[in-house]
Each structure stands twice: as structure tokens, then as C-alpha cells.
Chain A
Amino acid sequence: MGLSEQIAQFIITGLSIGAIYAIVAMGFNIIHNATGVVNFVQCEFISLGGMFMYTLVVLLRVPMFISFFMSMAAVALIGALIERGPIRYARSKEIIILIFLTIGLSGTLRGTAQQIWGTDNVGVPAFSGENPIHLPVGATLLPQHIWVFGVTVLVMLALRHFFKNTMSGKAMRATAVNRKAAALVGVSVDRMVMLSFALSGALGAVAGMIIAPISTTSYDTGIMLGLKGFAAAILGGYGSFSGAIIGGIMLGVLESLGAGLISSQYKDVIAFLVLLLVLFLRPTGIMGHGESERV
């Protein structure tokens, strides 16, 4: 395999992992816009999505299609409960306290998942077929890669429709811009915040489920994927939706190229180094307009 074929292969791998980062970054953004908090439970949403999928498909032999939506709903419910319980009843509304609360909750969920499923990596069958497709550029593509791209595009289109055309979506955007003003015009801010947690739970689950057949899954797969998703969100400009997509794809492709051409051990170093460089050169991220200060 020549260099150009190799590069094509790395780019395809990078695009698929980048798509995952983009979905995760979207989850971070939605909660950030609603509450200003970095929600580290996002990492657990990814793991849980993968593990629910494994339980339903492999252990309980539920059809793939149904399992997908059941897992998504289950994780969305967990997301909503997390907001409805601990986050809402936290005595302090200071951002740093809430961020660490999400770290605590994330630990609780991860520990619980470890008790339920153990620490082994488990496989989930591909959505359809395992036969690689040979592309004219010399690279090969798994059917699951196509699923990853397809689902990601669908998710993005659905989100776009939700935020542009539905009442709830518009209400959520209003809440993000100004809570008080939104409440004054009759938006139930509490419900919107809960909805944003449910939505990012669903997004995390989708990310965890579509990547599981490619890279297997375990109770803690979400940690690195989640942190990279956060990195992608920051890279693109925190809170920006187009930024999440650009940041995710960029991070995924650079990481994959770096791993392939330089060294696979330094994969994560390269990813985070790029992130730091971009932040230092363009402190608001690629698509960001500067974080609005809450005075």
C-alpha cells in the first residue's frame, strides 16, 4: 500500500472518529448553552450508550433497530434524572461547584457501570455486514463507517430542524441567550434545562452506540472519547454548533494522521497539542465569538 493510499485510509478513519467527537461536542455545547456548565457526565453517556446496546443486542437478542432507540431513550432518561435530581437541588449554583458535581456524578455512574458490566471490553455486532468496501483511492471502508457518517449527518440535520423550526428548540435557544428574558416571555427555563440534559444524554448514547462495533466498548470507553469531544467543542468555539462539527472533524483527522504518520503512542499528545496551539493563537476557538461573560 503506497503512501497516498495510506493517507486516504487515515483520513477515512479520522473522519469517522471525528464524527463521533462532533456528536459528543454537540452534547457539551447544548448543556453549556443552557447552564454554562461543562457536563463531565457526558463521558458516561457515551459508555452507557455502548453498554446498553451491548446488553440489548448481544445478551437479550433484541433487534438492532429497536435496541438503538431503547438505549437512546434510556440514556436520555438518565440525563434528565441527573438534572432533575442532583443538579437542580445543588445548594450552590456556582459554575465551578456544578462542574465538580458533574465529575462526582460521573464517578458514581462509572462505578455503578463497572459493578454491572465488569471491566472487560465487549464487542457489539456491526449494524449491517462486516465486508470491507474497497474504494478507488485504494483505501477500504467498513459498512459501519458508512453508518457512522450517515447517523452523524442525520443527527445534525435533526438537531438543526429542532433548534430552527420547533417551539421547544426555539425556547431552548432563547434560554441560552437570556434566561430571565426567556422566563418573562413564558418559557419554562427549568424544563428547557432538563430537556438539554436529556438531549445531550441521547447524543452521547448515539455516539457510544455507533462507534461500539468498530472499537468495542466497556464501562469506561467514554472517558477519552468524552474528553476529546470536549476538546473538539473548545477547538470549534465553545457553544457554537458549526464549530462542534469543524472541531470534531479536524481533531479526528489530525489525530488519525498523526497516529499513522508519526507514532500511534503520541496520538493523544498530538490531539491535545493541536488544541493548545489553536487556543493560544485563537483563544475563542475556530468559530467562536468570545465567551459571553456572566457578570
Chain B
Amino acid sequence: MENRKEYEEVSMPRSLRHKDVICFAILAVVITLIPVFVESKYHLIVLNIIGLNTIVVVGLNLLIGFAGQISLGHAAFYGLGSYFSGILTVNYGFPHWPAMVVAMVTTGGIAYLIGYPALKLRGHYLVMATLGFGIIINILMGELEQFTGGHDGLIGIPPLSIGSLTFDNDLKSFYLIWTFVFFCMLAARNLLRSRVGRALRAIHGSEVAANSLGVNTASYKVKVFVLSAMFASVSGSLYAHYITFISPSTYDFYYSIQVVTMVIVGGMGSLWGSLFGAAVLSLISEALHVAKQYHVIAYGVFLSLMLIFLPEGVLVSIHHFYQNRKLKKLLAAEKGGLTG
């Protein structure tokens, strides 16, 4: 059973390919139509935040779910994207699109410098290295005042624009952000269906086995790390231009934890799960603000219960539940057939 499933995954029958196309088509339609039904400004803002988180989570899921590496420092890459975009456009008058590309490339470069030695580290050493890096970057955001505006933050970041179209309200930003979400997910999906994707999955299964079959595991891990940092950077840039104000507290240790939680809740190694995880946790985080001072407890309890009872993520758990039921029905039917 298990082996067959794996085989089908790898060989990708036509039906599955169609399934993906249909899913992406549905996503496109939903993105186009949502603003028709959503009128309140607040709901649009929440949706935009979900979109931004999704981009980070999709990238991070490539690293955690497929390459099997944990990063507790992704807030740093998200922040680097925001701050490079913000500083270049505000302090140096850079045009925004090139600034975003510079941010992405520079963040990728920094991720390479961190990742190259860090990914040679195994297990908890990598957790510590990324965690430490995240804390360093977060402190620098507050302390390098002449560039970053310090703890008060950086204000007046211009909104993005194409020609005469300026993305200066929540609705326009919605379409911009979700277009990015769509293409990021498409890119991730294509990557996973390629040779690289199969290599990554092999690394997750067993690094030793993958290595002995000729997969250069170290190089793949670094590449995925850099890629996921670039995803985070793009999202960070979009955030900066959308909110037009950034400050260090957005990019603290808790953000790093939050995005990894989204990966886990959505299901490690599940592309659509990333979207789901980002949506559910962003919504819950918003909803829990109602609980005000109990916010910390509520979030902690939620996360704990989730991980105790649904450790594979909600979507995968539901999927397994239905499969088990189907299997039980089948077995029951077979039994009935035998006795009857």
C-alpha cells in the first residue's frame, strides 16, 4: 500500500496532474472573486496578511517539509526583504521594483553565507544557528538607527506601482499580493514535480540513502534554504510597500515560530497545506486578539492541543481519517461478502 502510493507520487499519473491544474484554476477564480464578496476594509487587510504569510510559509515548507531542515530564523529573511526595500526606496530614492529585486538577491546571498556552513550542522545545531541569526538581525534593525529608523521604525515607504496603476489601497494590494501568492505556489509546485523536487523528497526520506544514490544532499539543502529565504524576502518587500511602515517588533523570534507553526498545522510537505496553515493560523491569531490579555495562553493551548492530537497537520489528518473510513468500509464489505 505504502510503496504503491510513493510510486504513484513519483511517476505522477495524468490524473494527478489534472488535479493540480484544477486546484490552481480554482485558486485563480477564488482570488478574482473574493473582493466581490468582501466589503469590509478589515477583512481585506486580514486576507492580505494571509497572502503575505502564505508566501513565507510556502518557501519555508520547501525547506522543512521536503528538505527536512528546521529554521527558526525566517523572520530575519522576511525582515531583510522589508528593510532593504524600505531603506533603498526611502533613504536612497531607489525605484521600488528594482529595490525589491536587490532585496531578494541580497537576502538570498546572506542566506547562502549563513546556510552554507549552517546546513552542514545537523539537527539542533541548525536550529540554534538560525535562531541566533534571527535574533542578531532583529537587534540590528533596532540599533542601526541611521539606516533603519531604530525602534520607532521606518515610515513613508512608497506603495508599489505599475505604470499609472498605484497599489495604494487594500483592494488593489489584495490583487497584487495574491498574484504573487499564485505564482509563488505555482513555482513551488513545478519545482517539486521536477528532478530537484524528487531529490529533496529523497533527502527528507533518508539523507544517507539519497547521498548514496548520487544526490548531492548538502548542495540541495543550501539551495532550498536560499530559495526559501528569497520567498520570505519577496513577501517582506510586499509587506513594506503595502503597510508603508516597518518596525523591528514585526520581525521578532515569535514571527519565526509562527511561520513554522503554520507549516506544521498545514502539514509538512503539503503545498496546499501551506495556504491552509497560513490562513487558519492568521485567522486564529486575529480572532484571539479578542481574548486580549489571554492571547498568549490561548495561542499556547491551541498550538499544544494541535500538536498532541493532529501532529500531521489538519488537512493530512482529515485525509487519513477519510481513507481509514473507506478502508474500514471496504473491509466490512469484504467480510460481509465472505460470510454471505
Contacts and interface: CB of A to CB of B under 8 A. Distances in A.
Interface in A276-290: 276, 279-280, 283-285
Given A32-B124, A279-B117, A279-B125, A108 B297 contact: yes
B307 A269 contact: no
Given A101-B308, A283-B125, A291-B122, A108 B300 contact: yes
B123 A291 contact: yes
Contacts of A268: 135-136, 139
Identify whether the interface residues of B are mostly helix, strand, loop, or mixed.
Answer: helix
A105 B131 CA distance: 19
B300 A107 contact: yes
Interface in B309-328: 309-312
Interface string B246-270: 0000000100010011001000100
A238 B308 contact: no
A92 interface: yes
Interface in A89-148: 89-92, 94-97, 99-101, 103-112, 114-115
Identify whether the interface residues of A are mostly helix, strand, loop, or mixed.
Answer: helix
Contacts of B143: 265-266, 269
Size bracket, chain B contacts = 35 or more
Contacts of A103: 257, 261, 303
B124 A92 contact: no
Given A266-B143, A268-B139, A280-B117, A107 B296 contact: yes
B289 interface: no
B121 interface: yes
A275 B304 contact: no
A247 B179 CA distance: 48
B188 interface: no
Nearest to B308: A90
B236 to A, nearest CB: 21
A104 B293 contact: no
A257 B10 CA distance: 55
A38 interface: yes
A90 B307 CA distance: 7
Given A276-B132, A276-B133, A91 B125 contact: no
A94 B297 contact: no
Interface of A: 32, 38, 86, 89-92, 94-97, 99-101, 103-112, 114-115, 227, 230-231, 234, 238, 265-266, 268-269, 272-273, 275-276, 279-280, 283-285, 291, 293, 295
**Closest 7 pairs (CB-CB, A-B):** A107-B300, A111-B297, A92-B311, A104-B303, A111-B296, A108-B300, A104-B304
